Structure 1
Amino acid sequence: MNKFDIGLDKNPANYTPLSPITFIERAAAVYPQRLATVHGAMRLTWSEQYRRVRQLASMLARNGIGKGDTVAVMLPNTPPMVDAHFGVPMTGAVLNTLNTRLDAESIAFMLNHGEAKAVIVDREFSGVMQAALGMIGRDLLVIDVDDPEYTGPGQRIGKLEYKPFIAQGDADYPWQNPDDEWNAIGLNYTSGTTGDPKGVVVHHRGAYLNAVSNIITWSMPRHPVYLWTLPLFHCNGWCFPWTVAAQAGVNVCLRKVEAKAIWDAIREHKVTHYCGAPIVHSLIINAPAELRQGVEHKVSAMVAGAAPPAAMIQGMEEIGFDLTHVYGLTEVYGPAAVCEKQEDWANKDIGERARLNARQGIRYVLQDAVTVLNPETMEQVPADGETIGEIMFRGNITMKGYLKNEKTTQAAFAGGWFHTGDLGVIHPDGYIKIKDRSKDIIISGGENISSVEVEDVLYRHPAVLVAAVVAMPNEKWGETPCAFVELKPGAQVTDQELVAHCKEHLAGFKVPRAVVFDTLPKTATGKIQKFELRQRAGSVKAIDV
């Protein structure tokens, strides 16, 4: 035995399993009277927020929920969703946040696959939840949330209602840390952009480390005011429920992502931070100028979910928002890489700054590694910005694996790295950049075309709000690019004009052979559902380019 191990064992005085639920206890102890949560007329301090989550935990425990059980929630960004991120794991149970845009069949699959014992559902989603419950063939504890801020259709479908349910709970519930930080804290099903949802199991250790990494990455000060534009069901809100608690900040809840609601919240509550996919930032940038009046304080924004076009990054700078570009997947708790800005970038013109900031960057501080490897040899590709390989992660901010799917888990971790399925390059400065998803590369006449590259050019056109490029069948070339485009309100442009625009910036074989103007299908997190567009592209007629 090593001399540094003799008589130097772990004990309660020198070792505690890491868990992000400890952050709320500290916030309540140190800042009991500081504002914690805002929702409509509701205001909760950190001491009140802590009491609520302990009451929730105690009531779940009274109803038989304990270690290893699954509690599903189908909620918008409201206080009960914040509660669940602490109250559920306080019982030792695992939180399964359900995508609120999914159909009943998908929800039923997740409830059964995850073996949920209880579900908390907002009245807005009672219809789809009731249909899902009718498909699963077993009884669950159903707790309805009747949010006073919601005035639309929907009814209560369970025997319990959230507010009186937690009111019966013990505000001094004696919760404990997990006995092992490797214990699961969350079950997150992939968004289904491929049509093949997998149950991603994440642990207390990873959630803790990513919550802290968010603070470091963003240089987030004490008491941030955080606006919930990012769905809390997506990767547990990128771990930000726990991040906000760690910094004793303010959760500003937002039921729906709408430009007016966002700008009103930023102005009224002096929001300092928010996150979202590129579509969210585009919504903010393109909002009417009158909505932006009266916002003079600094706002920090974080973008992920897809490679943001340079035009969007430039637009954020022009309205004075400080944008941080992060990258990750559900399997790495949301963001686990960041395009960290260098001091000398400030001296470059805005176009070059946008190009540099559009890269996915380097690893999060508490992640071990992110790089680009040849998936066949598992060797790192040259840092030349040209050689394409697969982006891979390794470290503590990586999932346990896929629930009940050992074969897929082993494939995802082959060679000791997590395989993202994203194709990218390493630039000479070590920063990585996505070129495409492996399934989204267009192979035309034997040449690889990056759909991301073509999309970036489309976004530079002033009329384009959203763009997505997929492969369409071609008898001569095998595949050619097909562009699906959403225009900005009031904007007009023809397909031939967009093709001409692309010709100015792309090699001829990369120019879209078809342009379709339509509303693009998206997941609740703003990701464009390319699998659906690929199906549409099969019947699209090519144009003369």
Structure 2
Amino acid sequence: MKQHYDAFDKAPANHVPLTPLSFLERTAAIFPDRTALIYNERRSTWREVQTRVRRVASSLRRLGIGPGDTVSVMAANTPELLELHYAVPLTGAVLNTINTRLEPETIAYILDHGDARLVIADTAFSAVIQKAFALNGKTLPVVDIVDPDGPGGERIGSETYENLVGAGDPEFAWTGPEDEWAALALNYTSGTSGRPKGVVYHHRGAYLMAMGTPVAWELPRHPVYLYSVPMFHCNGWCHAWTMTLMAGTIVLIRQITGEAVFKLIAEHDITHLGGAPIVLSMLINTPEDQRCHVGHTVRVMTAGAPPPATVLAGVKKLGFEVMQVYGLTETYGHVAQCIWQDDWADLSPDEQAERQSWQGVGFPMTERIDVVDRDSGAPVPMDGQTQGEIIIRGNTVMKGYYKNPEATAEAFAGGAFKSGDAAVRHPNGYIQIRDRLKDVIISGGENISSVEVEGILHRHPDVVLAAVVALPDEKWGEVPCAFVELKEGSAESEDSLIAFCKENMAGFKRPKKIVLTELPKTATGKIQKYVLRQEARTMSETTQKQD
């Protein structure tokens, strides 16, 4: 009688394609007058956001933008960028948010490779957009975002974003995508080796990410969220859609400083924020006279790099409750979380911080996250020692790399997405990253985790940031080389830091060279290790020539 269960067809009544765009319609209908966005002196309710989104979407249609077109956006975290997370896909087009710190050559590549039909750009980035056009030898239509609170910049478009709002239809009708597998967004990886790859998100994945995040983070209704994660990065961890679903109040910040973050937390009673470990380190090192009193607990989601345990311990003292999460551009952002376990309450503060720095277990919408042997594909023992590669399977894994079927096939070989992250799995099932596979240092046959060495360096009270890479060495093949950013006014030197390392780690793990410098970072706060690796190679080559 099995055939009776197969007798039903999908119908409009029982099968609606999943899309995060539906969250705006629901929230605007239920909570129309609640404050949705705060940006400096600007305030918008959810009804006003909905109306502006519809107007912009209808104007984009007037400009010829429709299903399958790519609309590239280069903007800071302002109301316009959040609105475009709805307005662009409402037309059926694909939203391509571009890293605001990229150089013209990479922007030119993204615009060309991504088949951009239209560019919407903050005037602060007009000069770099024009240079990108010159490199490509063609000029695309541009819509200018003119932010009165921004740094200014030349207008290069034929019309402004506010023109789109003013000329648009507030009753613009949309029915959602016909297929939830349809492309929603195009995000380019950081391009640490070769050209960046275009990662394609679909509506289903973004919907499920937005649904899974409130469960994992235990979000209440109406959170007050400080959007300190750049919205060009994994679409701001998909929080533009998540916070709409929760009918939250989104406080936008254009330029992140410790003083500004503390001020906004106090002024708006911020309940939640997200940021890379570098943001947490910035808060810890904000001078006392630049901090506002925070009289309530602020819940923080941190990701981007394994946070040093000392940083987690430091922000806890400030009254921040931190949850470490893990993910990649290819997984819409976070797909694993370090859930607090009750038995950790009996541990020392340092031991608690160490546990909280683990990447943890899968989010509710993650079907499988595991650590496997790279050769056999078998799960590694849960002994906290055996190292393997993190693999991920689920609906929040990208469709694939845009116009790159070879890279897509390689990433999905074996039936799961291969992350490129080396990790172990502890007896309780929690995953802990040991390194990026390309960052493991092999010295005299010994594997050295750069993350482990960095964690020890971060214990030094004067170390703000540390990054460890391989330094080519004639005798050992390669040895650890540390690049360290110190607190302002610190009297520490390379010799004193090496002495500190001698007291705190095994001899073969100690950095043989320590460079005191400001570390190069991406806009999301990740340290650009590829720049440091090149610098280490250059140092080695220079030394060899001198010898």
Which TM-score bucket, shorter chain as reference? over 0.9
- The aligned residue for residue 133 of structure 2 is 133
User: What SS does structure 1 have at the residue aligned with 2:132?
Assistant: helix
Aligned partners of 1:213 and 1:491: how far apart in 2? 43
Tell me which residue corresponds to 2:342.
343
How many residues align? The count is 541
Residue 139 of structure 1 and its aligned partner are, at CA, apart by: 4.1
TM-score (norm 1): 0.97
Task: Tell me whether 1:38 sits opposite 2:38 in the alignment.
Answer: yes
**1:110-145 deviations in Å (ceiling 9; x for gaps):** 011110111110011110011112232344221001
- Determine the C-alpha separation between the residues in 2 that align with 1:284 and 1:20: 32
Letter in 2 for 1:39: Y
Match of 2:169 in 1: 170
Q: Contact between 2:146 and 2:152, CA under 8 Å: does it hold in 1?
A: no
What SS does the aligned partner of 1:43 have? strand
**Could you tell me how far 1:6 is from its partner in structure 2?**
4.2
The answer to whether 1:380 aligns with 2:372 is no
User: What is the identity, as a one-letter code, of the residue corresponding to 1:458?
Assistant: L
Q: Which runs of 4+ in 1 moved over 6 A?
A: none
The answer to whether the aligner puts 1:183 opposite 2:158 as a matched pair is: no
Report percent identity of matched pairs: 52
Aligned mates of 2:6, 2:399 — CA distance in 1: 31
Q: After superposition, what is the alpha-carbon deviation per residue over 1:373-396, rounded to whole angstroms, capped at 9, x for unaligned?
A: 112111101111111110110011
Question: What's 2:103 paired with?
Answer: 103
Distance 2:127 2:515 in 1: 33
Q: Which letter maps to 2:46?
A: W
The 8 Å contact of residues 470 and 530 in structure 1, kept in 2 or not, is answered as yes
**Is 1:221 matched up with 2:220?**
yes
Q: Partners in 2 of 1:276 and 1:196 — Cα distance?
A: 26
Q: What is the Cα deviation at residue 5 of structure 1?
A: 3.2
The separation in 2 between residues aligned to 1:489 and 1:420, in whole angstroms, is 36
Q: Are the aligned partners of 1:514 and 1:540 in contact in 2 as well (CA < 8 Å)?
A: no
Contact 1:190 1:197 in 2 (8 A): yes
Secondary structure of 1:77's aligned partner: coil
Q: In the alignment, is residue 28 of structure 1 matched against residue 28 of structure 2?
A: yes
Q: Which residue is 1:507 aligned to? A: 506
- Superposed, 1:3-402 pairs within 5 Å as 3-150=3-150, 152-402=151-401
* Aligned-residue offset at 1:4: 4.5
Of the structure 1 ranges 187-196 and 59-68, higher mean CA displacement relative to structure 2 is found in: 187-196
For residues 458-485 of structure 1, what are the alpha-carbon distances to aligned partners after superposition, in whole Å with 9 as ceiling and x for unaligned? 0000000010000111111010000000
Structure 2 match to 1:424? 423
1:349 CA drift (Å) = 1.2
State the shift of 1:252 in Å: 0.7
Greater shift in the superposed pair: 237-246 or 370-379: 370-379
Code of the aligned partner of 2:118: A
How far did 1:195 drift? 4.0
Q: Which moved more, 1:408-417 or 1:160-169?
A: 160-169
CA distance in 2, matches of 1:357, 1:473: 33
Secondary structure of 1:540 counterpart: helix
Q: Following the alignment from structure 1 to structure 2, what is the Cα–Cα distance between the partners of residues 263 and 194?
A: 36
Q: CA deviation at 1:203?
A: 0.6
Question: Larger deviation: 254-263 or 91-100?
Answer: 254-263
Deviates more, 1:280-289 or 1:2-11: 2-11
Q: Following the alignment from structure 1 to structure 2, what is the Cα–Cα distance between the partners of residues 25 and 489?
A: 49
Give the AA of the match of 1:26. R
- The separation in 2 between residues aligned to 1:407 and 1:427, in whole angstroms, is 34
Corresponding letter in the other structure for 1:101: R
Question: Could you tell me whether the CA contact under 8 Å between 1:201 and 1:402 is conserved in 2?
Answer: yes
List per-residue Cα deviations over 1:465-513 (Å, max 9, x = no partner). Answer: 0100001111110100000000112222121221122222211000000
Please report the TM-score for the alignment, with normalisation by the length of structure 2. Answer: 0.97
Render the CA deviation track for 1:320-375: whole Å, top value 9, x for unaligned: 10000000000000111101111121222101101101100011101101110112
Contact kept in structure 2, 1:277 and 1:306, CA below 8 Å: yes
Instruction: Deviation per CA, 1:66-105: give whole Å up to 9, x if none.
Output: 1111000000000010011000111111000000000111
Q: CA separation in 2, counterparts of 1:505 and 1:212?
A: 43
On the 8 A contact 2:183/2:200 being kept in 1, the answer is: yes
Looking at structure 2, the residues matched to 82 and 418 of structure 1 have their Cα atoms a distance apart, in angstroms, of 29
Structure 1: 5+ residue stretches without partners: none
Aligned alpha-carbon RMSD (Å): 1.2
Q: Partners in 2 of 1:540 and 1:453 — Cα distance?
A: 23
After TM superposition, the structure 1 = structure 2 runs for residues 462-501 of structure 1, keeping only pairs within 5 Å, are 462-501=461-500
CA distance in 2 between partners of 1:499 and 1:336 (Å) = 37
Unpaired runs of 5+ residues, structure 2, are none
Once residues 305 and 533 of structure 2 are traced to their aligned partners in structure 1, the CA distance between those partners, rounded to angstroms, is 17
